[in-house]
Amino acid sequence: MTETVSIVIPTFNRAAMLPKAIDSALAQTFPCEVIVVDHGATDKTPDVVAGYGDKVTYVRRERDFGPHFCWLEGILHANGTYVHLQYDDDWIADNFIEKCVSVMGDDVGFAFSGAEVVDDKTGRQMMTQFLDWLPATGIFENHLAEDSIVASLISPGAALYRKQVLIDALYQGGLPLQTNEYHGVGPDIFVSLLSMLRYPKLGFVREPLASFRAHDGSITIDALKDAQKQREIAAAYNEVRAYYVELKAMQMVRATQ
């Protein structure tokens, strides 16, 4: 079966940043469907997307139902076997999808690449991420990167996921026993963990092919300035990590029955 890929770009009031995300999606060396999902933007976002004509699929709602529903709606519109969730303030190298697809397989749950954080004001690379998690580009058993993935976070902006896993990670909304929540925190880490529960291997591209823009409007950058927000984010992620450990233990018990 030929792999098909959709790139979903959820957006909200970032008309000035959005073109770079769209342009990087359209520039991929691997053929991709590009979907822009706009829930309630009040800026020039519709005009920006209209400028791309039929090169992109535009899904818009006048009301904002929150980030999870926006992501989910875009994924439900996707026709691809695999989906890359592209944030509207970030971008990817033109060979990101091609290289991630090359390390997918029947027993691989997801693939991810290294990433860089770029200062929005200077354009300079501030840091790289994930490059030391695995020794080379290739396909690996989950356990070789599990500790790093559970302790930290692979941003969906640096990963390629199976469409069905993304839907299942997002569709349930909050976790069954969840008490802490913070914006998009939760599903962004749970989709990688759910992939590892369902598939024994993961793919890795040891190059910084995803670029994350550091700017004042970023939820992550904003939280770094506020200790309370940092605590809320940490609590939300810890909920997901604990849930993963519990599910993995249940999986191991079932395997012995």
CB atoms inside a 10 Å sphere around CB 17: 19
Q: What residues contact 70, with CB distance under 8 A and at least 6 apart?
A: 10, 12, 37, 39, 64
Q: Which domain range does residue 45 map to?
A: 5-95+141-200+219-255
**H helices within 90-186, ranges in order?**
96-102, 143-151, 163-171
Residue 131 is assigned to a structural domain of this protein: no
Q: Is residue 122 part of a domain?
A: no
How much is the pLDDT for 184? 54
Residue 159 β-bridge partners: 112
- Answer yes or no: are the C-beta atoms of 64 and 85 closer than 8 Å: no
Q: Which two tokens stand for residue 149?
A: 């993935």
Amino acid at 240: V
Q: How many domains does the chain have?
A: 1
pLDDT at res. 244: 87
Residue 167 lies in a domain: yes
Residue 136 domain flag:
no
C-beta neighbour count of 158 within 10 angstroms? 27
Mind listing the pLDDT tens digit of every residue in the chain (257 residues)? 578 999 999 999 999 999 999 999 999 999 999 999 999 999 999 999 999 999 999 999 999 888 888 999 999 999 999 999 999 999 999 999 999 999 999 999 999 999 999 998 898 999 999 999 999 999 999 999 999 999 988 999 999 999 999 999 887 666 666 776 645 567 788 899 999 999 999 999 999 999 999 877 665 555 455 677 778 778 888 888 888 888 999 999 998 88
Cα 250 from Cα 47, distance rounded (Å): 49
Q: Indicate if the alpha-carbon torsion angle 196, 198, 199, 200 is positive or negative.
A: positive
In a domain, 125, yes or no: no
Give the pLDDT confidence score for residue 115 in this predicted structure. Answer: 97
Which CATH number goes with the domain that contains 30?
3.90.550
User: Cα angle at 157 between 188 and 19, to 5 degrees?
Assistant: 130
pLDDT of residue 234: 81
Alpha carbon distance 241, 159 (integer Å): 19
pLDDT at site 212: 93
Return the closest-CA partner of residue 109 out of 183, 168, 172: 168
Give the pLDDT confidence score for residue 225 in this predicted structure. Answer: 59
Output the CA–CA distances (angstroms, integers) from residue 155 to 117, 129, 136, 210, in the order listed: 12, 10, 19, 10
What is the CA angle 187-58-5, rounded to 5? 60
Q: The whole model's pTM is what?
A: 0.90
pLDDT at 218: 61
Inside any domain, residue 33: yes
Q: Is residue 207 part of a domain?
A: no
